[in-house]
A = this chain, B = another copy of it.
């Protein structure tokens, strides 16, 4: 558990705070003793650390920090509840900035999106049902802001058989549920899959994963807990090319400093005191919570993936420069197309923010239709941007000798000689850029740039369902009837 700090933590303070945590983690068959320094995990910690260190830089303050509506103090924007459409826009720009600086998933968004969703939903739940969750939530939020916590928003259950509801599964634990209600709190069992940045977080905020009916009451549970609480353990997810980080080099990893991670989070009858419980049986609100969290998180992708896309576009442009192809009209056209697609994503991120609206609790919500449209495009365009980057990069990206061969005196000079592109650029630079493109399209970062773009914040079909619900087809039909002269309504005067 981190010690309280005053105001914004520095990157070093963040790292130190994590060193004081006691995670129970397994990775490739072994218990990890030192999470912070594990070479496979470390780059992901660096990405989160960047959310702290950039907040220290004056030129990024307007994006990286905000003024708390609770205290009036300056807080990291990741701990902030959006108080305006402008806050929503700045959030997206902050995410683009961090994507540019890390070329990876920086993980801290999930908690930001979770607190924003939790705020309005607990408020409305209390108003409707007379519960007292919002006060508890605000108390947690206050500490989060004061201590500048990274929080893991934990939503996705393993789900077992997708054709069955939580309470219909062969194993009742395939969705997180309450197994005991005690005077002092509840006991929960189950797991959350795909937990982005879990091991770089101070706390977790657990939420249900789907809309539920009354029969699923035990599954409608939300709470906060220290990420290293007794009763929680983690199995680290492996990524494409993850073990290159164990090889000791700096080229073949593609992105030596930054990365992301996901883990399976398991609750072995975790005890949660009532003060930390934010939903317990209110199935009527689980759907709204999912919808809002997903909405915020779908907006997020209109920022973070755009920033990563900026790096990939830049890398592709360098690859073309380095092999003397930058003036070819088809290369220029492909870079334009990559930019066009990337900026379309950004436009969607901005638009759903600018069109946001105030909820009852005062926190601003994105435009749900446009946020889903944003994410739906994110399930497509990064794939095409990646394809175009691979086109420009050329086949060498996947046939190059390893970094160790470059270091080997028996082969190094040969590699330098034959993999030279334009004479003015060192072969190693060319190799580094190609490895970066490989990292983003096939390697560890492809997990974030491709698969997470596809499934993060909900798979494509989830957005299509929301688009359908939000599309107001009835009004559109009325417009068409009016033009076609078959409306029941009085014809409008021209």
Copies in the complex: 4
Check A494–B354 contact: CB distance below 8 A: no
Question: Closest approach, in angstroms, between the C-beta of A406 and any C-beta of chain B?
Answer: 9
Known: A235-B401, A250-B485, A351-B348. A420 touches B28 (CB 8 A): no
A486 close to chain B: CB less than 8 A: yes
Check A411–B235 contact: CB distance below 8 A: yes
Known: A411-B26, A476-B317. A421 touches B336 (CB 8 A): no
Within 8 A of B (CB), among A376-400: 376-377, 379-380, 383, 387, 390-391, 394-400
Q: Mark A440-476, 1 if CB is under 8 A from B, else 0.
A: 0011001100111011100111001001100101011
How far is B450's CA from A370's CA once the two chains are assembled, in angstroms?
Answer: 24
A256 close to chain B: CB less than 8 A: yes
Check B405–A476 contact: CB distance below 8 A: no
Check B315–A26 contact: CB distance below 8 A: no
Check A46–B264 contact: CB distance below 8 A: no
Question: Closest approach, in angstroms, between the C-beta of A367 and any C-beta of chain B?
Answer: 9
Check A391–B480 contact: CB distance below 8 A: no
Q: Mark A303-323, 1 if CB is under 8 A from B, else 0.
A: 000000011111101100101
Nearest opposing residue in chain B for A420, CB measure: B160
Cross-interface CB contact of A324 among B161, B262, B264, B471, cutoff 8 Å: B161
* Among all A-B residue pairs, the 9 with the closest Cβ atoms: A29-B404, A314-B476, A314-B480, A347-B351, A237-B399, A354-B354, A161-B324, A395-B455, A329-B329
Q: Can you give 13 A-B contacts (C-beta < 8 A)?
A: A26-B410, A26-B411, A27-B405, A103-B480, A162-B325, A170-B420, A262-B398, A315-B477, A315-B480, A353-B354, A390-B451, A391-B459, A399-B447
